[in-house]
Amino acid sequence: MNGNNRSKIKIGSLVLVVQKQDQRSGKLTEGIVKRILTNSQNHPHGIKVMLESNIVGRVKEVK
């Protein structure tokens, strides 16, 4: 499931995110959602979240 739709992402969900510095390489980081930072319902590059490890990134996949 892709991370462009806010309704699919819940706090506590296991997700794969791309961090700002990894956008060129496409390296993904796995983690559990602590906060949802994007207010809009959809975002073409993925919903921005903060993981429990305090990493901020855009969701590419919801596990």
Question: Using alpha carbons only, what angle is made at residue 24 by residues 4 and 53, rounded to the nearest 5 degrees?
Answer: 65
Distance CA 41, CA 49 (A): 13
Residue 1: per-residue pLDDT: 77
| Domains of the chain and CATH, by start | 6-62 (2.30.30)
Kind of pairing between the strands at 48-51 and 14-18: unpaired
Q: What is the pLDDT of residues 4-63, one digit of tens each?
A: 999 999 999 999 999 999 999 999 999 999 999 999 999 999 999 999 999 999 999 999
- When computed from its CA atoms, the radius of gyration of the chain, rounded to whole angstroms, is 10
- φ, ψ for residue 8 (rounded to 5)? -85, -10
Q: Is 49 helix (H, G, I), strand (E, B) or coil?
A: strand
